[in-house]
C-alpha cells in the first residue's frame, strides 16, 4: 500500500481527483467504482470542475457504486442514488444508463446482489475503485467481522455505523439497519484502489491500517493484500513520520521526524562495498524503522553531485547512480534525494536557526567550506548544483592556495577549519613562547578545539589567529550578503560550538545589516532537512 499524506482535506480531494483524471485520460472507457459519504465530496467537486473545463470526459465511462441502504427509495435525500446525482452524475457528462447504484427498492435483494455482481463482471471489472473508510474500518458496508469471500450482498449495519451515519438523518431511528454492499472480494477485484481518509476521527483506524495487521476486525486492512492501493489521507487522519537519511562517508544517520521533531535517531557505519550494498543497507534500516514508526516518505542527503537524479560522489560508491529510483523501487515509498549540504541548510531554515526567516545562506565550516542557499524556504539549485559556497574566489592571483575545484584563492582556502589550523600552525611556529605553540608541540598537531583552548587560556597569539581567521571569514560573509541579501546567514560546523567567540570577533571586523546566527540543529540539520524536503 502506498501512502500519500496531504496537508489537509482540500489536498486529499485534489490528489484523489487527479488520480481519477489520469485513469479517465489513459482509458476513456474506464469502469469506476464510486463511494459515498462525506469524504469523497471534495473529490467529486474537483472532478466536476475538471469536466466543465474539458480536462476530463465521462461520456464513455461506466460507474458502479459500492453500496446503498436497504430498504430505501431512490428519491429519499439520504439514498446513495440521490447523493451521486447531487454530487456527480447530474453535473458531468456521464450517461445515466452507464451509472449503477445498488437498488435499495428491490423486493428481492439477493437477486439484485447477484445481478449487480454480474453487471460489474460483464463491464470488464472495475479499473479504479474509490473508497472511504468508516471509523470502525468498514469499506463499503463491509463491517468488522466481514466475510472475506463475500461478493455483493445484503448486510446488517453495526450500531457504530448507524450512530456515525445518524448525523445525516433527522434521528437515529431513521437510519436503515441494512444495506446492499459490494463485498470484500468484489472490491479486491478492482485493478487499482484509492482509499481516502480525512479528519482526526479516522486517526485510530488509519493507524491500524498502517500497522502490520490484516484482520477482518478492521476490513480496510484487508486491502493490504491488493497490489495497487493508495491511501490518500490528511495529517489529521494519519500518524505518519518522515524518514530523513543523511549519508556520510563514515556513517549514515537516520532520523524519524514527526512534524518538526526528530522522535528517533541513530547512526550506522556506512557500507561502502558497492552502491548496491549501500542501498540495501538503507532499505534494511528503513524496514526496521517503519515497523515502529510508519513512514510516509523518505528524504536522503548525500555528499556529491546530483545531475538529472544521478548521484556521483567521491566519498561513496555512487557513480551516476539513480539512488532515488532504486530506493523508491525497493521501499515502495516516495523518495527525494538531495545534496547533503543543501539538506542541512534546508533543515536549519525550516526547523533551526533560520526558522523565522525565508531567505537563508548557510555556511558550513569544516575540512572544506560548504553550505546551501535557501530562497523562500526552498533550496536554490540553479541549473542543478548551485550552492558551492566554498568556491568563489576571494583572491584571484593567489598561486599558493590552489583549490581542488580548479580555481585559486577560493573562500574555502581561507575560511575552512583546515585553513584556520594552517594559519595557527604558522603563527605558533613564529611564536615559540606561546601557549598555542606549547599545545601544538604536546599534540604534534593543532585543531579547532586546541586553538580555542589556547584562546581560553589567554594566549595572545591564538587571539591573533582567530582575529585573522574571522577577518577572512568576514570577506566571504559580506560578499554573500551583497550578492543574495538574505534574511540571515547561518554558520555551522564543529568550530561553531564556539560560536560565541566567532560572532564576537565578527562584530568587531564587519558591520553587517543582517543577522549572523549559529546553527541550532548542529549535526542533526542534515536529517531534518532530508526529512522535511
CA distance linking residue 67 with residue 34, whole number of Å: 9
Closest separation in Å from C-beta 218 to ligand PGA: 13
Phi, psi of 194 (to 5 degrees): -120, 135
143 in catalytic set: yes
Kind and range of the H or E run holding 350 = helix 340-351
Contacts of 382 (CB under 8 A, 6+ apart): none
User: Which of these is catalytic: 67, 127, 246, 326?
Assistant: 67
Kind and range of the H or E run holding 373 = strand 369-375
Contacts of 451 (CB under 8 A, 6+ apart): 420, 421, 424, 436, 462, 465, 466
Placement of cell 486492512 in the chain = 221
Residue with smallest beta-carbon separation from ligand PGA: 37
User: Which of these is catalytic: 68, 143, 348, 524?
Assistant: 143
138 in catalytic set: yes
Restricting to residues 124-143, name those near ligand PGA by CB under 6 A.
132-134
Closest separation in Å from C-beta 40 to ligand PGA: 7
Measured from the CB atom, is 42 or 390 closer to ligand PGA? 42
Restricting to residues 33-62, name those near ligand PGA by CB under 6 A.
37-39
163 in catalytic set: no
Task: Please say whether the beta carbons of 181 and 152 come within 8 A.
Answer: yes
Measured from the CB atom, is 133 or 182 closer to ligand PGA? 133
Q: How many chain residues are in contact with ligand PGA, going by CB under 6 A?
A: 6
Measured from the CB atom, is 158 or 322 closer to ligand PGA? 158
397 in catalytic set: no
Q: Cell numbers of 127, please?
A: 479499473
Measured from the CB atom, is 134 or 529 closer to ligand PGA? 134
Q: Residue 172 carries which DSSP code?
A: G
Closest separation in Å from C-beta 193 to ligand PGA: 13
Task: Please say whether the beta carbons of 280 and 329 come within 8 A.
Answer: no
Q: Is 146 in the site for ligand PGA (CB under 6 A)?
A: no
User: Which of these is catalytic: 136, 142, 165, 218?
Assistant: 136
Of the CA atoms within 13 Å of residue 436, those in its CB half-sphere come to 28
User: Which of these is catalytic: 81, 87, 100, 138?
Assistant: 138
Measured from the CB atom, is 80 or 455 closer to ligand PGA? 80
Closest separation in Å from C-beta 84 to ligand PGA: 14
Of the CA atoms within 13 Å of residue 139, those in its CB half-sphere come to 34
Measured from the CB atom, is 132 or 183 closer to ligand PGA? 132
Q: Cell numbers of 5, please?
A: 499524506
Strand partners, 518: 491
Closest separation in Å from C-beta 477 to ligand PGA: 54
Give the residues lining the site for ligand PGA (CB under 6 A). Answer: 37-39, 132-134
Active site residues: 67, 136, 138, 143
Amino acid at each position: 500500500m502506498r501512502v500519500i499524506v496531504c496537508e489537509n482535506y482540500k489536498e486529499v480531494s485534489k490528489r484523489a481527483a487527479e488520480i481519477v483524471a489520469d485513469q479517465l485520460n489513459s482509458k476513456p472507457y474506464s469502469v469506476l467504482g464510486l463511494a459515498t459519504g462525506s469524504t469523497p465530496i471534495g473529490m467529486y467537486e474537483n472532478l466536476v470542475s475538471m469536466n466543465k473545463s474539458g480536462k476530463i470526459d465521462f461520456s464513455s465511462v461506466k460507474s458502479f457504486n459500492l453500496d446503498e441502504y436497504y430498504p430505501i427509495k431512490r428519491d429519499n435525500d439520504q439514498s446513495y442514488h440521490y447523493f451521486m446525482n447531487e454530487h456527480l452524475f447530474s453535473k458531468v457528462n456521464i450517461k445515466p444508463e452507464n451509472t449503477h447504484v445498488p437498488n435499495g427498492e428491490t423486493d428481492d435483494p439477493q437477486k439484485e446482489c447477484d445481478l449487480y455482481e454480474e453487471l460489474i463482471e460483464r463491464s470488464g471489472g472495475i479499473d479504479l475503485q474509490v473508497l472511504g473508510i468508516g471509523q470502525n474500518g468498514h469499506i463499503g458496508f463491509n463491517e468488522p467481522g466481514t466475510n472475506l469471500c463475500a461478493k455483493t450482498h445484503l448486510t446488517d449495519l453495526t450500531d457504530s455505523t448507524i450512530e456515525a451515519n445518524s448525523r445525516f438523518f433527522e434521528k437515529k431511528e431513521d437510519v436503515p439497519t441494512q444495506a446492499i454492499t459490494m463485498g470484500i472480494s468484489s472490491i479486491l477485484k478492482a485493478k487499482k484502489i484509492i482509499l481516502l481518509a480525512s479528519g482526526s476521527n479516522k486517526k485510530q483506524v488509519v493507524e491500524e491500517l498502517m500497522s502490520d495487521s490484516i484482520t477482518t476486525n478492521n476490513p480496510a486492512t484487508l486491502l493490504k493484500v491488493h497490489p495497487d492501493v493508495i491511501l490518500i489521507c490528511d495529517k489529521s487522519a494519519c500518524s505518519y513520520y518522515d524518514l530523513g537519511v543523511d549519508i556520510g562517508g563514515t556513517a549514515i544517520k537516520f532520523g524519524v521526524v514527526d512534524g518538526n521533531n526528530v522522535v528517533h535517531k541513530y547512526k550506522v557505519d556506512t557500507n561502502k562495498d558497492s552502491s548496491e550494498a549501500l542501498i540495501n543497507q538503507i532499505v534494511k534500516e528503513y524496514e526496521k524503522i517503519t515497523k515502529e514508526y510508519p513512514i510516509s516518505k523518505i528524504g536522503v542527503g548525500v555528499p556529491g553531485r546530483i545531475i538529472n537524479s544521478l548521484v556521483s560522489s567521491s566519498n561513496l560508491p555512487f557513480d551516476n547512480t539513480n539512488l532515488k529510483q532504486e530506493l523508491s523501487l525497493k521501499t515502495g515509498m516516495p523518495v527525494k534525494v538531495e545534496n547533503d549540504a543543501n539538506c542541512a541548510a534546508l533543515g536549519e531554515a525550516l526547523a533551526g536557526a533560520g526558522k523565522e526567516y525565508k531567505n537563508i545562506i548557510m555556511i558550513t565550516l569544516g575540512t572544506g567550506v560548504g553550505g546551501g542557499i535557501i530562497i523562500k524556504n526552498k533550496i536554490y539549485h540553479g541549473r542543478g548544483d548551485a550552492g558551492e559556497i566554498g568556491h568563489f574566489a576571494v583572491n584571484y592571483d593567489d598561486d599558493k592556495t590552489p583549490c581542488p575545484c580548479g580555481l585559486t584563492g577560493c573562500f574555502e582556502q581561507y575560511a575552512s577549519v583546515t585553513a584556520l589550523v594552517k594559519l595557527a600552525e604558522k603563527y605558533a611556529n613564529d611564536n615559540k613562547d606561546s601557549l598555542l605553540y606549547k599545545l601544538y608541540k604536546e599534540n604534534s598537531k593543532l585543531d579547532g578545539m586546541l586553538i580555542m583552548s589556547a584562546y581560553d587560556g589567554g594566549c595572545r597569539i591564538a587571539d591573533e589567529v582567530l582575529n585573522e581567521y574571522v577577518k577572512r571569514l568576514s570577506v566571504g560573509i559580506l560578499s554573500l550578503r551583497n550578492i543574495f541579501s538574505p534574511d540571515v546567514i547561518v554558520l555551522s560546523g564543529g568550530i561553531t560550538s564556539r560560536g560565541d567567540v566567532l560572532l564576537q570577533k565578527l562584530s568587531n571586523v564587519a558591520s553587517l545589516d543582517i543577522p549572523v546566527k549559529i546553527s541550532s540543529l548542529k549535526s542533526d540539520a542534515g536529517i531534518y532537512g532530508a526529512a522535511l524536503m
